């Protein structure tokens, strides 16, 4: 299950709607390209069919994702544990380094911030969800295991 804000769910639904609209355009493109003659040598036809296949894949993936999301409202998020939208300061137990993360449902576009964004579905985001200050979690990453302790919940 993926936790998202109401705004994020609306964005996903809008994106799905755009993919459905594109699907209709691709059907028209395929029909027009089919009318140009021999399909074996018709690059427009093959390109449109490939575009439609990719669009269908996006529609399936997004539909499945929307079926598994749970909308979290502002007032429902606990303040004493790491949850969607929380900015947390954590300590890497191996290096002793302190880092600040924000738990998000999807990464934002650009913009420099004082913290790194991690999604609720990333290894670090999953491990930190519902953890309280002082608790240590183990995260399996491509570069190996990390043990992270929540030092402070800032928001």
CA-atom Rg of the chain in angstroms: 22
The reply to whether 41 and 101 lie within a common domain is no
pLDDT at site 76: 64
The whole domain housing 140 covers 75-153
Q: Where are the beta strands (DSSP E) in 5-143?
A: 69-71, 87-92, 98-104, 116-119, 136-141
Within the chain, which residues score under 70 in pLDDT?
1, 74-78, 107-113
The reply to whether 108 and 142 lie within a common domain is yes
The reply to whether 81 and 66 lie within a common domain is no
pLDDT at site 85: 80
CA distances from 81 to 8, 78, 109, 122 (A): 21, 6, 26, 18
If one counts the domains in the chain, the total is 2
pLDDT at site 113: 64
| pLDDT digit string, tens, across residues 35-76 | 877 777 788 888 999 999 999 999 999 999 899 888 877 666
Q: List % helix, strand, coil for the chain (3-state, nearest 5).
A: 45, 25, 30
> To the nearest 10°, the Cα dihedral for 137, 141, 143, 148?
-20
Does residue 94 sit in helix, strand or coil?
Answer: coil
The reply to whether 93 and 122 lie within a common domain is yes
The reply to whether 82 and 149 lie within a common domain is yes
The reply to whether 11 and 62 lie within a common domain is yes
């Amino acid at each position: 299950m993926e936790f998202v804000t109401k705004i994020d769910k609306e964005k996903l639904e809008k994106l799905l709607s755009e993919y459905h609209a594109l699907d209709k355009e691709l059907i028209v493109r395929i029909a027009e390209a089919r009318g140009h003659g021999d399909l074996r040598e018709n690059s427009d036809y093959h390109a449109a069919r490939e575009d439609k296949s990719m669009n269908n894949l996006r529609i399936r993936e997004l539909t499945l994702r929307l079926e598994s999301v749970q909308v979290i409202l502002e007032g429902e998020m606990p303040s004493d544990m790491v949850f969607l939208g929380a900015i947390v300061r954590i300590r890497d137990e191996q290096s002793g380094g302190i880092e600040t993360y924000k738990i998000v449902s999807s990464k934002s576009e650009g913009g420099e911030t004082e913290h790194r964004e991690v999604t609720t579905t990333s290894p670090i985001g999953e491990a930190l969800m519902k953890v309280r200050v002082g608790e240590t979690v183990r995260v399996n990453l491509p570069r190996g295991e990390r043990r992270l302790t929540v030092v402070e919940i800032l928001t």
